[in-house]
Chains A and B, each alone.
Chain A
Amino acid sequence: MLTMNKISKSFITDDVATHALRDIQLHVNEGDFVSVTGPSGSGKTTFLNIAGLLETSTSGEYLLDGEDITKLNDSGRSRMRNQKIGFIFQSFNLIPDLNLFDNVDVPLRYRGLSASERKQRIEYHLDQVGLASRMKHLPSQLSGGQQQRVAIARALATSPRFLLADEPTGNLDSQMAQSVMSLLEDINKAGTTILMVTHDPSLAARAKRQIYIKDGHVSELTNKNSNLHVVGEA
């Protein structure tokens, strides 16, 4: 599903180079649920951004679903994000001026689907997260947990193969965090590969596989599942 080969990322600002990722070597199988933990500033978001094609690596090779990402241009990466990847953000990132229906509609329009198909998908996915009755509400009228569920509906509406979440429960209380986590587990059970950054060790432990990032290096924490392997630096 996902293969990173010697992926490095450095940010150069004012002649100071920050090496956010160093020679990442990683393979994630289809259907995996991977949690990513590590100290603040260790490179977790950078790793997720590169995995989700939000940023490009400074060097290395990245294959997603068999496609060599380093060969894609900006619009190619946009299309790939739209078709294969779903995102869930720590602060939900719903568009405040649009109601829930229109929010879920955003990626579907970029996909160029017909109005009837979009409507059907929006209603289905909002129903899945239990918010179908609030379609005309604005995000500001919802609780944080509800907003994150809308964001999940939006991420799933395009039927992505791959779901990326950067601290999806970071802004939620523990009860809401639990419900979002079980939603993610259901999604994973249905076949979607998930990569989730979290600060919460108990949530991380619920993933099938845990990786740990420190100073830009990736290492494996536990190996609950036999169908995974990682080639990283310990």
Chain B
Amino acid sequence: MISLFARLELGPIFRALMRNKIGALLIALQIALTLTIMVNAIFMMQERSQQMARPSGVDEANTFYLSNTIFAQNYNTQTSMQQDLQRIRQIPGVVAATQINAIPLSGGGWSMSLQTKAGDDVEGTGAAVYMVDEQGIAALGVELIAGDNFHNSDIGWRDVGSTKWPPKALISKALAEAMFEGNWKTALGKTVYIDNHQPVQITGIINTLQAPWNGWNGVERSMLVPQQLDGRGSRYFIRTEPGRRDELMPVIEKMLAETDRGRIIRNVTSMEQTRDKSYQEHQATNTILLTVIIVLTLITGFGIVGLAMFSINRRTRQIGTRRALGASQWQVMRYFMLENLLISTAGVVLGTAGAIALNIWLVSTFSMSPLSPVLLLIGVVALLIVGQLAVSYPALVASKISPATATRGRA
């Protein structure tokens, strides 16, 4: 053991480094900066990826929606909508269809506050509101985990200006937990209040259904109410048998357009498109962050190669002398790898402090969550490995310097 440490030369390597501080210091700072930015960037990417990975609760692969805008005068909106839905449901391959007022993750929708007690000044819990009919659950593809679905007789029409709410609702598990102290099962059958005073009975609980706003911290809180909006604009939400969505999207669009020329059908959009659009910025940001990480790491790697090449060139005769004094090729190579390890260690120590400081600032400024120590550790190890890989080529070049350089100088 003693002889191993003796041969490692850490002391002399360190002391020699201290005589050539500037280059080493610059590389250490570069490594520190890379670690600082890399770890926080990866952390931000992770947070976004986790957000994107949350299920919407909707059968996204097999659902789409379209909007129906009526322009004809003297038009019976209620009959025409009922007919549209009937026709859609009759098409082979369609599983379910419903009229809906808002689309999950689309960015636009309704929200209301629900209270466990009636009253004007009672704290409420915000929830996204989806107005659907008895096929709402099947059309969205959400899972009912307690209670019953709406019946056809529950569904009422709602005028555009109305503030009247139906007496029943299905709520998401997350909403139930938020209102009933984490115990969603107790929510079933309870009466809650919407718009301060209107009683609504919770007749069922659905597992997951996200709100239209992905950045909202209550994105998992949503409710379904048995209502259909009566107006000159409406949206149909349709679910097909697995794999038949793309084929049926144009079919249904064409069918609707042709059976009734008093309106136009627009914005035929799949749920997958909606998700992509919803997280477009997240994706773009992640791509930018990833690019920054890769570029920074490459620059650092090349910086290490450059510095090592420079210092090896400067030390050619010294390396030859070491070889003459008995250093093996491996010992020469190890010298430069250990030297890099010392520089990198200084860099990652500094970088760890930097990463934590940047994270503290991000947490306090953008209310991000604190950095995980595991990620920091991974970053440290990754940069040490990058350093060793980067220096291995120059170190190999150094190890090939002939011992005869000691007497002949540069060949």
Contact = CB atoms under 8 A, between A and B. Distances in A.
B403 interface: yes
Given A93-B317, A95-B321, A107-B325, A114 B6 contact: yes
A55 B2 CA distance: 32
Nearest to B409: A91
Contacts of A231: none
Given A78-B323, A107-B326, A110-B327, A54 B407 contact: yes
A109 B7 contact: yes
Contacts of A53: 403
Contact of A106 (B2, B20, B322, B406): B322
Nearest to B331: A110
Given A97-B16, A97-B20, A102-B15, A78 B3 contact: no
Interface string B297-338: 000000000000000000001100111111111110000000
Nearest to B332: A78
A113 B324 contact: no
B381 to A, nearest CB: 28
A154 interface: yes
B407 to A, nearest CB: 5
A166 B324 CA distance: 13
B397 to A, nearest CB: 16
A228 interface: no
B101 to A, nearest CB: 76
A115 to B, nearest CB: 6
Contacts of B7: 109-110, 112
B3 A52 contact: no
Given A95-B321, A97-B20, A112-B7, A78 B404 contact: no
- Looking at B19, B321, B331, the one whose CB has the most chain A CB atoms below 10 A away is B321
Given A54-B324, A54-B406, A110-B326, A95 B9 contact: no
A114 B7 CA distance: 9
Interface in B380-411: 402-404, 406-408
A75 interface: yes
A49 B404 contact: yes
Contacts of A78: 323, 326-329, 331, 403
A52 B12 contact: no
A110 B325 contact: yes
Interface string A71-83: 0001100110111
A95 B318 contact: yes
Contacts of B325: 81-82, 87, 106-107, 110, 154
A56 to B, nearest CB: 10
Given A48-B407, A54-B403, A95-B321, A82 B16 contact: no
A89 B317 CA distance: 11
Contacts of A113: 3, 6
B15 A111 contact: no
A98 interface: yes
A114 B3 CA distance: 6
Contacts of A171: none
Interface in A24-70: 45, 48-49, 52-55
A54 to B, nearest CB: 4
B2 A109 contact: no
Contacts of B6: 108-109, 112-115, 118
Given A54-B403, A87-B325, A99-B15, 5 more contacts: A78-B331, A79-B328, A93-B318, A110-B7, A110-B322
Closest 8 CB pairs of A and B: A82-B326, A112-B3, A97-B16, A107-B325, A110-B326, A97-B19, A93-B321, A54-B403
Interface of A: 45, 48-49, 52-55, 74-75, 78-79, 81-83, 87, 89-90, 93, 95-99, 102, 105-115, 118, 138, 154, 158, 166
10 contacts: A45-B407, A54-B323, A97-B20, A98-B15, A110-B7, A112-B4, A114-B2, A114-B6, A115-B2, A118-B6
